[in-house]
């Protein structure tokens, strides 16, 4: 069964440094998402991406965050200047159509630890 | 009212028993509903979509009550492998998740 893949599985970074989290969505999917989950808390939506542009973003997704689809397969999340509170699991997800047609499938996540 | 409310549990249930969870949501415009399961420190995995007419997948039954704005999940003949946190979610594009209900099946 096709799956969403994410790299790295664990990223440790000094506060203030930039990080790039990478995702390869399922190949025929058109909608891409990033979510995060702080330890012990619920999964929170960050951003959705369709047709090479952001379609929706949450309050969490401020100017420090950006997303990109640099080629036909990768989907990246960049955090420009990391803060301690950015420490969380970051999940990429994709769906074939809008969520009202198809559910979202999640990658196994990147654990981001900010020191 | 919170966007999504779930009983966090924990539910400790003997193997073979039936267990049910509810999840209430506040956004009446929501079009799509899902149950995900999440094992400790893992990604959410889709368990099932929830349809207006209710749907069943093996031992799992999901129901949607739009009038009262809740969805439910019923697990019959529970197995040890059903131990996990069950997340309800809904949305029209982005998914909003509940905090999850922790289920432990006891041998």
* Smallest CA–CA distance from B4 into chain A, residue: A42
**pLDDT value at A50 more than 70:** yes
pLDDT on residue B63: 95
Residue A100's pLDDT band, with cuts at 50, 70 and 90, is low
> Is B42 close to A109, i.e. CB distance below 8 A?
yes
Placement of tokens 């893949």 in the chain? A5
% of chain A surpassing 70 pLDDT: 96
Strand-pair partners of A68 = A76
Strand-pair partners of B36 = B46, B87
Tens digits of per-residue pLDDT, B14-73? 999 999 999 999 888 888 899 999 999 899 999 999 988 889 999 999 999 999 999 999
**pLDDT value at A99 more than 60:** no
Confirm if A26 and A105 have CB atoms less than 8 A apart: yes
Strand-pair partners of B40 = none
**Cα gap A39→A22, rounded to integer Å:** 20
Q: Which of residues 14-33 of A touch B (CB under 8 A)?
A: 31, 33
pLDDT on residue B6: 93
pLDDT on residue B92: 78
**Cα gap B21→B11, rounded to integer Å:** 9
**pLDDT value at A93 more than 90:** yes
Identify the DSSP state of A85.
G
Q: Are strands B19-25 and B11-14 parallel, antiparallel or unpaired?
A: unpaired
> Is B44 close to A43, i.e. CB distance below 8 A?
yes
The beta-strand segments (E) located in B26-81 are 32-38, 45-50, 55-57, 60-65, 70-75
**Cα gap B31→A58, rounded to integer Å:** 19
């Amino acid at each position: 069964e096709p799956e969403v893949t994410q790299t790295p599985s664990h990223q440790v970074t000094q506060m203030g440094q930039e990080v790039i989290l990478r995702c390869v969505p399922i190949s025929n999917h058109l909608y891409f998402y990033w979510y995060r989950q702080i330890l012990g808390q619920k999964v929170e939506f960050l951003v959705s991406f369709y047709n090479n542009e952001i379609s929706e973003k949450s309050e969490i997704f401020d100017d420090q965050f950006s997303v990109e689809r640099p080629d036909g397969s990768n989907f990246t999340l960049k955090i420009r200047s990391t803060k301690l509170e950015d420490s969380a699991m970051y999940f990429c997800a994709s769906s074939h159509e809008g969520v009202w047609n198809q559910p979202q499938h999640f990658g196994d996540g990147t654990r981001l630890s900010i020191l | 009212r919170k966007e999504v409310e779930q009983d966090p549990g924990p539910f400790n249930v003997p193997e073979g028993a039936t267990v049910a969870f509810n999840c209430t949501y506040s956004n009446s415009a929501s079009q799509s509903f899902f149950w995900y399961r999440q094992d400790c420190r893992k990604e959410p995995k889709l368990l099932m979509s929830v349809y207006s007419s209710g749907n069943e997948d093996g031992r799992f039954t999901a129901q949607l009550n739009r009038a009262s704005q809740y969805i439910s999940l019923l697990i019959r003949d529970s197995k040890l492998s059903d131990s996990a946190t069950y997340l309800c979610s809904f949305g029209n594009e982005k998914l909003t998740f509940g905090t999850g209900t922790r289920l432990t099946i006891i041998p």
